[in-house]
Structure 1
């Protein structure tokens, strides 16, 4: 296993949920190996349930089926494993050294019960590696479709920008840095106009600085800026839709306005309604 490995979490809906196809596409672009992971949730149930004696055999067959699918479509190497435990924590714990973990936005287990959805959000919160959440029936976008990154400050979302650059370079795509801002609703009349104008100037200068720093760090990558006033989730969803973006990246575990929203109460809004895959990239804290 290497740091470049692409892990993909699968369940019974893998043929439809987009994760395997996105991981396959990324594997071909990056020439990286893929790890196929399926988690058997072996936690005891509070109420009686039907135990399927062949669950592990079925899980192994599922992973083998995905492996055969990859063999038919790619020459890149792959491996597979069946894990046991709570799905979100198990996937997060098993992929700490992978380059990324790819999961479907929705999925179903052996008995047809919903697994992904809440699992996707939980994995995105707990994982130490980048998590790419793929919508159902995903198909590749044009290679030059922009990669969108929601930004506050680089110290809060630098990891997301770095990860975006690695993906954009593979695709030959530009990066669009989207910054959402707003002012408190307590202001009225002329005071409100002055406050909004000052805030707009401040955020414009702030985004210009971020773009300059990104261009200096990555001179071979095309960066553009998109400044929007309003709610962070609605602003990001609109930016992605209007740009026909192929991927949206946001940072995590920080107190920035956009980023805290992603892993807070509005996480469902982004993960469930974005029209393209969403990558959550946690900012690693410096070790003291």
Structure 2
């Protein structure tokens, strides 16, 4: 899936969980692991720049030593980068893994403005990991849930990421498509004809999901797949499926708007409330 996995690290419990997740994934993917600590000089600090840089380097060194001891043979490099955090992390190569504070099912993820902007600006997939996440959450029997919407090409990148990850883990993919009944005036003569040909809206949605998943079934024949359609909002349906998942994969449009890059409402909702790690995959 990728030759490089980058873990953003800042010494917090959340970033330690993200680093552990990234290391396990690097082993599974036979990828190199890069640990990046982006920091900026605090002008009001009581110590000078050199001391601040030393603290950053020491924290990264200790974390890398722990990971190297757990995963002997893993190719690990560490970089302490002075500069803007968002630009540094968003421009990192390969899959990017970040930590995210969580406070239970009600409050959910506290993603923060930096995390949101990194996800919005990153050109590669970004995985958010809660503090406390560990290898036990990747136990057999837990699905990799991926959201599918629109035409097959609209979710191709997210589906590809989910299937590649499932193949490396020996996991099952649960492909989820949500649907709602639009207002009567939204039906055009053409759409009514298509719905009539397949027997109604539910069979239409089932066929749309099957068509999107088919090429990935063919590419990864050993990956078990469940195709799940459900009436409701995309965010709610994905969150319901995420309860027993080991990873949720959502797509987001990579286009920038007049007000800047955006995560999207579905990805935003899943990021804030899913109980497991969430991968956000950009697509055109």
TM-score normalized by structure 1?
Answer: 0.79
- Following superposition, the deviation at residue 233 of structure 1 comes to 1.1
Segments of structure 2 that go 5 or more residues without pairing to the other structure are: 103-109, 186-191, 256-261
- Following superposition, the deviation at residue 26 of structure 1 comes to 0.9
Deviations 1:184-208 (A, max 9, x none): 3578xxxxxx99x832232122112
1:67-78 equivalent positions in 2, closer than 5 A: 67-75=64-72, 76-78=74-76
1:37-186 equivalent positions in 2, closer than 5 A: 37-42=36-41, 49-50=44-45, 52-53=47-48, 54-75=51-72, 76-93=74-91, 95-96=92-93, 98=94, 100-106=95-101, 117-140=112-135, 141-152=138-149, 153-184=151-182
Contact 1:144 1:172 in 2 (8 A): no
Question: Relative to structure 1, is the Cα distance of residues 254 and 227 closer, same or farther in structure 2, using a 3 angstrom cutoff?
Answer: farther
Aligned pairs, how many? 254
- Following superposition, the deviation at residue 80 of structure 1 comes to 0.3
More strand by share: 2
Provide the aligned C-alpha RMSD in A.
2.7
Question: Relative to structure 1, is the Cα distance of residues 118 and 267 closer, same or farther in structure 2, using a 3 angstrom cutoff?
Answer: farther
TM-score normalized by structure 2?
Answer: 0.80
Contact 2:178 2:229 in 1 (8 A): yes
Q: Whole-Å Cα distance in 1 between the matches of residues 181 and 71 of structure 2? A: 50
Question: Relative to structure 1, is the Cα distance of residues 182 and 254 closer, same or farther in structure 2, using a 3 angstrom cutoff?
Answer: farther
Question: Relative to structure 1, is the Cα distance of residues 209 and 117 closer, same or farther in structure 2, using a 3 angstrom cutoff?
Answer: same
Segments of structure 1 that go 5 or more residues without pairing to the other structure are: 108-114, 188-193, 256-261
Q: Whole-Å Cα distance in 1 between the matches of residues 214 and 29 of structure 2? A: 27
